[in-house]
Amino acid sequence: MTDGTAGERGITDEARARIEELLAPVDADLGRWFPGDRAEPQPVHTVYVSAADVDVDTPRRWGTAALELESSASAVAELAGDEVREIVRTRLATNPIEDLRIDLEDGYGWRGDEREDADARRAGQTLARWVADRPHAPRSAGVRAKGLGAHERARGIRTLELVLDGAGGVPPGFVVTVPKLRDVRQVDAITVLCEEFERAHGLTEATVRVELQIEIPQAVLGPDGRATLAQAIHRGGRRIWGLHYGTYDYSAACGIVSAQQSLEHPAADHAKAVMQVAAAQTGVWISDGSTQVMPTGEPEQIDAAVRRHHRLVTRSLERG
């Protein structure tokens, strides 16, 4: 074709218009569903600390403990060169925890309403202090309240209300981690809840950000054979900020015994591969799961924990 006129073998203007008519909404949907990666850097880690233990000084204490680890773990010098260790020392001295969730779910447990009410308000006050006093404070922070199951959602919603009451509003960068997603319709309830918080505090839509914790198999594969978490990302729109893999609950729900539960188990790899594909080009971040093996105890135990952590982090980086 050399001009805009269709010959016997050319495409008619009507056909071109019809093609554009068919593809214009596709272009719009793809642009909305897959806007691309976010420009801001993803935190290197997310730390969960029980609301019973956290205070304003928690990040600094954790940074100090991590700095002391270098002197007690010979593996640190073996696994990282001088330049890298100096960069890490500087970061631990100035911004030791990039992203923190004050935990009022599994890491906190059930302590009675009076105690949880008080801890929720104190958690909000801590979040507000971190915003006001930036040195050593997390770059972003939020809470994990109890989930949307029938037996716990009333407690979880009350806890979130009291956290924001203690904070005097919604702190900048505030994130709510929602545990144990099982059904995409739960995202609708999350949206209503966040919209109510935004209305009450005079905030614009999608100010309250949400992370979905993937720790139940039904979050990966629903009863209709679809990937529940993929639907959830688009159901929640701009509000959905991240997906966090829940290593131990997910493994247990798959029937994996505790001794074999790990973020490198094949069941974990499958779940995280689905998470990775579902979140690709959406701007939603992925967290690859936790380990309960801490660098404590005898020197050989500390070294083993450091080496394990290095191996797991390297493995995750290699897998994207």
Q: Is the pTM of this model over 0.85?
A: yes
Q: Is residue 197 part of a domain?
A: yes
Q: Is residue 11 part of a domain?
A: no
Among residues 100, 102, 96, 88, which one has the least CA distance to residue 64? Answer: 96
| Average pLDDT value for residue range 202-221 | 96
What percent of the chain has a predicted confidence (pLDDT) above 90? 84
Question: What pairs with residue 99 in β-bridges?
Answer: 140
| Average pLDDT value for residue range 113-119 | 98
Q: Is residue 19 part of a domain?
A: no
Q: Is residue 160 part of a domain?
A: yes
Q: What is the dihedral of CA 73, 78, 84, 89, to 10 degrees?
A: 10
Q: Is residue 67 part of a domain?
A: yes
Q: Is residue 176 part of a domain?
A: yes
* Host domain of residue 138: 42-289+296-318
* pLDDT computed for residue 315 by the predictor: 94
Q: Work out how many domains the chain is built from and give that number.
A: 1
Domain containing residue 246: CATH number: 3.20.20.60
Q: Is residue 96 part of a domain?
A: yes
Q: Is residue 27 part of a domain?
A: no
Q: What is the dihedral of CA 30, 35, 36, 37, to 10 degrees?
A: -150
